Structure 1
Amino acid sequence: MTTTSAIADRTAAALAVLARGLALFDLPPGEKRPESGWQQRTTTDPEQVRRWLAAGRNLGVGCRASAVVGLDLDRHGDGADGIASFEALCSRYGQPWPATLTTATPRAGLHLYFGVPADAVVLSTSGGTAGLGPGIDTRGPGRRSGGYLLAAGSVVAAGTYTVARDCPIAELPAWLVPVLSASGRPR
């Protein structure tokens, strides 16, 4: 694997995610919503992940178990473009696009993964309520069970989640930490 190549094969993509230290859990085939108790099923065991994939199961990244924050940059039919919003946010703060593990979603969106600083509390938000810009949601470790994102290797009606950028997971950039408060909204 190279550090910036896209990985499309389901198993290779899932194993690349595991190799970066993310804890995965299974979801029903073709689904985006997990069954109850998913928090207790997170694992970093490649053999378990292979069994889930062989059974056609989808995979999720447990943000609390993985100690990560996920930025979900959506591109939906409502005109919100999370990628353009994040580019504008980077520009506003005079920062480059962060180099971190990135998953491409079937609808041309991205999931960016960042390690969580010990003192940061980031909750999950949806519908652009993170205040980072239209089309940007957060998936954080939260205070209890935390949020999740579908992992590379998952398949839904719209297509397959793939690894778009295979590189180490960067720490949540210092410039983003004060932008997010414990509520997941900007300060």
Structure 2
Amino acid sequence: MNVLDGQVLAAARTTIDRGLAVFSLPLGGRIPEPGWQLKATLLPERLPGLLTGRGVGIGCRASGAVALDLDVHEGQDGPGVLAALADRLGVAVPETFTVATPSGGRHLYFRAPMGCTIGSMSGGRTRLGPGIDVRGPGNRSGGYLVGPGSVIAGRPYRILLDVPVAPLPTWIADRLDSRPDPST
């Protein structure tokens, strides 16, 4: 096993320890192979066979999670937009398992409430504001994000805040369209 495989496996183990299901991505890639939803696992003993020579994805449906992808590229400031929304509402963004992205953005993971059908939304379609994409369990396969340990264009995704996955705050859930999305 090389150093990169060791880093990928360590990050994936931590991710699983936080209750998030992982699956493999092509090395250096962001798009999973067909059937990735069925391969997502919470079993650490499956990691070496699943991830050696591969990247890590996190499946939202298999994890029972909603993830916020806070972008900071192309003039967008997702972290700032979310902080401003929380400030305007007089609430705090809770500490939760957080992954730093290569562009300087963040992936925040939240435990989805029972029966959650929040789908995946991108490109300014969320009611949380510009620069905030959402990946959720949806109604069928759910969304996913690139996970920690993955390296894209030589730049790593890394765990920034290793704390338990917090419950999805009501003030966020209330703003997300939970109507069935046939694409997820």
TM-score (norm 2): 0.89
Aligned residues: 175
Letter matched to residue 59 of structure 1: V
Q: Secondary structure at the match of 2:108?
A: strand
Partner of 1:57: 54
2:76 to 69, 72, 80: 80
Q: Letter of the aligned partner of 2:173 in structure 1?
A: V
**Residues 1:98 and 2:94 are matched in the alignment:** yes
1:39 to 13, 37, 40: 37
Q: Are the equivalent residues in 2 in contact too, given 1:107–1:158 (CA < 8 A)?
A: no
- CA drift of 1:175 comes to 1.7
Q: Secondary structure at the match of 1:175?
A: helix
CA distance in 1, matches of 2:130, 2:100: 18
Pairs within 5 Å for 1:80-159: 80-159=76-155
SS of 2:62's equivalent in the other structure is helix
Q: CA deviation at 1:183?
A: 4.6
Instruction: Specify which structure has the higher proportion of helix.
Output: 2
Contact map agreement 1:113 1:170 (CA 8 A) in 2: yes
CA contact (8 A) 2:116 2:137 kept: no
Partners of 2:93 and 2:168 in 1: CA distance = 12
For 1:151 and 1:105, the matched residues in 2 are separated by 9
After TM superposition, which residue ranges in structure 1, 4 or more long, deviate above 3 angstroms? none
The runs of 5 or more residues in structure 1 that have no matched partner are 1-8
Percent sequence identity is: 49
5+ residue gaps, structure 2, are 1-6
